[in-house]
């Protein structure tokens, strides 16, 4: 099967169209609002629109690739409740969702859950044009069937009898709350989904969210008494390859992993591929970015995960790392990036790729910079400075 994957990758590489390049649009979510950056077709000049909803904490912005028009923005302020803003004209105008994601009202005498913020937005399967999914903090899964205007609880997860155990308590989450993220839809089957939870691990459903099962075998929890529990892992970012959907990668709290769901006898087994990273850098980080056509190529952006976890570029020297062979080896990519005293962090949704050939890569930093590469990470250029703390960057083409 591996040879089939290689064959497919080579086929896709060679067939990558060299049509007139389109401009790229970056949807940038920040701690203080949303921004939309648009390039020229050569991806050299960029214009910035925004801020959108200045003062709102925006965790994610996403375009619906099925209609090319609908955008959703996950937002809240420091004290107001969470919501979703919607645009149906590529971000020109925005309105609030009529019914944002919210947990069900608890029965009298029972402790109810409340959504603190919407953290992740995923358009649904191509066969379900107006379906979207949202992941929240605390971990909850919500589904919209009207383009993000009204949201319903996915009870198969939110009311699953194992959910309290799977998600752990508040102590298992990030400092600003445990999060559901990386909602992945198998492009071959709308019923087949994955989710990632910090904490909790990776879970899979084959019935459109009606039931779930852990998918964490092989994924180490090096701080746990049992280093290989069934669940309780902390995947920071999970990606499914759109053209080879049996290949998934994850940047985990405890390393970089890959799984091949077609590998006989190992279809449920994650394999740590970060051990080939330089020891001085390690394989801890937040984002994971896949090449849009080659399932053996992906990028990570390591951070310092030692002792108290500074979560900064290791040694103050930021760099992306790329593998072009499914994790057998990694190459450092820091041309153009600061060589020292740069203590940035790239959050889990804040690094992405476009579909150009060569692929463009983009990442946003906790220091409010957006960096871009038009040659698959060979050289980096800072295209915008002085934005607020960047939470998410998504590349889209209209």
Positions that interact with another protein (CB under 8 A): 77-81, 83, 96-98, 100, 102-106, 112-115
Instruction: For residues 155 and 113, give the distance between their C-alpha atoms in angstroms, rounded to a whole number.
Output: 13
Question: Of the two residues 96 and 230, which places its CB atom closer to another protein in the complex?
Answer: 96
Q: Are residues 186 and 123 in contact, defined by beta-carbon separation less than 8 angstroms?
A: no
Q: What is the 3-state secondary structure (H, E, C) of 210-229?
A: CCCEECCCCCCCCCCCCCCC
In the bound state with another protein, the residue whose beta carbon lies nearer, of 1 and 80, is 80
- Classify 53 in phi/psi space as left (phi over 0), alpha (psi -120 to 50) or beta: left
Q: Is the CB of 18 or the CB of 79 nearer to another protein?
A: 79
Shortest distance, position 200 Cβ to another protein, whole Å: 21
| Identity of the residue, 41 or 81, whose beta carbon is nearer to another protein in the bound complex | 81
Q: How far is the CB of 102 from another protein (least distance, A)?
A: 4
Question: Which residue lies nearer to another protein by CB, 77 or 331?
Answer: 77
Contact 270, 279 (CB under 8 A): no
- Measured at the alpha carbon of residue 8, what is the angle toward residues 7 and 10, in degrees to the nearest 5? 65
Of 84 and 322, which CB lies nearer to another protein in the complex structure? 84
Least distance (Å) between residue 106 CB and another protein: 6
Calculate the dihedral angle through the C-alpha atoms of 319, 395, 370, 376, rounding to the nearest 10 degrees: 30
Tell me how far, at minimum, the Cβ of 4 lies from another protein, in Å: 47
Residue 366 and residue 390 in contact, taking contact as beta carbons nearer than 8 Å: yes
| Residue owning tokens 């859950």 | 113
C-alpha to C-alpha distances, 373 to 303, 336, 337, 358, nearest whole angstrom? 19, 9, 11, 10
Shortest gap between Cβ of 190 and another protein (angstroms)?
A: 27
Closest approach of another protein to the CB of residue 310, in Å:
20
Residues near 26 by Cβ (< 8 Å), separated by ≥ 6? 36, 37, 38, 39, 352, 362, 370, 393, 394, 395, 396
Of 169 and 278, CB closest to another protein: 169
Closest contact distance (angstroms) between CB of 103 and another protein is: 5
């Amino acid at each position: 099967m591996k040879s089939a994957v290689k064959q497919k990758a080579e086929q896709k590489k060679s067939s990558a169209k060299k049509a007139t390049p389109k401009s790229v649009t970056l949807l940038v979510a920040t701690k203080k609002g949303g921004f939309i950056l648009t390039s020229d077709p050569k991806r050299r000049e960029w214009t910035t629109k925004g801020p959108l909803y200045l003062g709102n904490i925006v965790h994610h912005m996403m375009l619906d690739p099925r209609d090319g028009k609908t955008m959703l923005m996950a937002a809240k302020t420091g004290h107001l409740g969470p919501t979703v803003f919607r645009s149906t004209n590529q971000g020109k105008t925005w309105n609030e969702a009529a019914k944002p994601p919210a947990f069900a009202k608890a029965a009298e005498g029972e402790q109810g859950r409340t959504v603190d913020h919407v953290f992740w937005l995923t358009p649904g399967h191509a066969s379900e044009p107006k379906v979207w999914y949202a992941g929240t903090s605390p971990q909850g899964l919500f589904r919209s069937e009207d383009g993000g205007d009204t949201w319903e609880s996915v009870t198969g997860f939110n009311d699953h009898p194992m959910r309290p155990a799977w998600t752990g308590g508040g102590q298992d989450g990030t400092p600003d709350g445990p999060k559901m993220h990386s909602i992945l839809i198998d492009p071959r089957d709308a019923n087949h989904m994955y989710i990632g939870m910090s904490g909790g691990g990776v879970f899979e459903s084959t019935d459109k969210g009606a039931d779930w099962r852990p998918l964490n075998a092989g994924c180490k929890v090096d701080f746990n008494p049992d280093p290989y529990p069934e669940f309780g892992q902390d995947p920071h970012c999970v990606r499914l390859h759109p053209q080879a959907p049996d290949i998934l990668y994850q940047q985990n709290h405890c390393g970089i992993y890959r799984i091949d769901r077609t590998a006989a006898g190992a279809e449920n087994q994650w394999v740590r591929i970060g051990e080939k990273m330089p020891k001085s850098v390690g394989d801890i980080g937040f984002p994971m970015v896949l090449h849009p056509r080659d399932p053996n190529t992906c990028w990570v952006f390591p951070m310092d995960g030692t002792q108290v976890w500074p979560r900064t570029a290791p040694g103050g020297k930021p760099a992306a790392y790329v593998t072009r062979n499914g994790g057998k080896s990694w190459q450092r990519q820091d041309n153009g990036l600061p060589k020292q005293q740069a203590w940035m962090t790239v959050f889990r949704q804040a690094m992405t790729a476009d579909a150009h050939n060569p692929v463009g890569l983009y990442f946003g930093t906790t220091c409010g910079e957006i960096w871009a590469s038009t040659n698959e990470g060979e050289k980096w250029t800072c295209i915008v400075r002085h934005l607020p703390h960047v939470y998410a960057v998504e590349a889209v083409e209209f």
